[in-house]
Amino acid sequence: MSYPHGAELYRGKAKTVYATADADLLLLHYRDDTSAFDGEKKAALSRKGMVNNHINAFVMTRLAEAGVPTHFVRLVGPQESLVRRLSMVPVECVVRNVAAGSLVRRLGVTEGQRLAPPLYELFLKNDDLHDPMISEDHALAFGWASAADLKRMRELSLQVNAVLTPLFADAGITLVDYKLEFGRQAGELLLGDEFTPDGCRLWDAGSGERLDKDRFRRDLGGVVEAYEEVARRLGVDLPAGE
Ligand code: ADP
Ligand code: UDP
């Protein structure tokens, strides 16, 4: 890593978080590591960190242009981005446009069923408990988020959907579902973490081919090639020869 950084603060399943000389900024290093099923299945996939770092930068920039406040500051290396340091809300916000994944398993509904209006769900970010689904009342009762945070998280999650659904549709991709994380800095709630094919479902609009982490979950192969295809279709510039 060429960008000057301080201590390693946290090593997650896919990214490592470093301090920087500025107490309000963090360095996020996107590793090639990938995991599924709460970390039970793991692999290192060459180029994944670089591709995800660039897809995230592209998406976060489009969101900021549309008025969504995000933590993203700028790319500082092939696998590194500078972000504003947040106090994270330990709640994952999921938006669904099409039924898939845990929704289908939980409710027995048909995979591929369109959801209009989109469905918004909350999960507690806790791998040991397998990220259980929660309601806004759980978040309030246990102090995971305030009423104002919850209102803003819902509003921003759906605003993200209004921006990204057409962005992906124009690239011939159906944005099926995605997970967002938010955090606070100086009293403001910002979109944090990442928006990459690791945290959303992207289906080719014509064939339904999976272009996201389900390729890894289901051993379909071609995981990073699919992420690169997403980048190519969105018009994301990837560094040559990386
Ligand atoms: P996980 O913790 O789920 O294994 P990652 O490997 O992606 O996930 O680790 C990144 C960690 O950094 C996550 O816990 C995420 O909540 C946290 N994070 C993301 N953005 C920020 C930010 N701007 N400030 C502080 N923490 C952040
Ligand atoms: N997701 C995520 N991290 C999680 C849980 C879910 O990024 O810890 C994403 C997942 O990739 C999908 C969406 O959130 O795009 C909805 O996930 P779901 O609840 O269907 O769970 P899954 O079956 O993917 O575990």
pLDDT band at 170 (very low <50, low <70, confident <90, very high): very high
Pocket test for ligand 1, best of 28, 82, 194, 195 (most atoms within 8 A of CB): 28
What pLDDT is recorded for position 142?
98
pLDDT of 242: 47
Separation CA 161–CA 31 (nearest Å): 26
Q: Which atom of ligand 1 is nearest to the CA of 15?
A: 6
Which pair of tokens denotes residue 222? 């071609």
Contact 171, 234 (CB under 8 A): yes
Q: Is the CB of 213 under 6 A from ligand 2?
A: yes
Nearest residue (by CA) to ligand 2, atom 2, is 199
Residue nearest to atom 8 of ligand 1 (CA): 12
Q: Which atom of ligand 2 is nearest to the CA of 37?
A: 25
DSSP lists the bridge partners of residue 185 as: 188
Alpha carbon nearest to ligand 2 atom 19, residue: 102
Terminal C-alpha separation, the chain? 14
Amino acid identity of residue 40, one-letter, is E
Question: Could you tell me the pLDDT band of residue 241, with boundaries at 50, 70 and 90?
Answer: low
Percent of the chain with pLDDT over 90: 97
92-133 pLDDT, tens digit per residue, is 999 999 999 999 999 999 999 999 999 999 999 999 999 999
Alpha helix segments (H runs only) across 66-198: 101-107, 136-141, 147-169
- SS3 at position 7: coil
Q: Mean pLDDT for the chain? A: 97
pLDDT tens digit sequence for 216-233: 999 999 999 999 999 999
Q: Which residues contact 77 (CB under 8 A, 6 or more apart)?
A: 1, 2, 3
- Phi and psi, residue 55, nearest 5°: -65, -45
pLDDT band at 240 (very low <50, low <70, confident <90, very high): confident
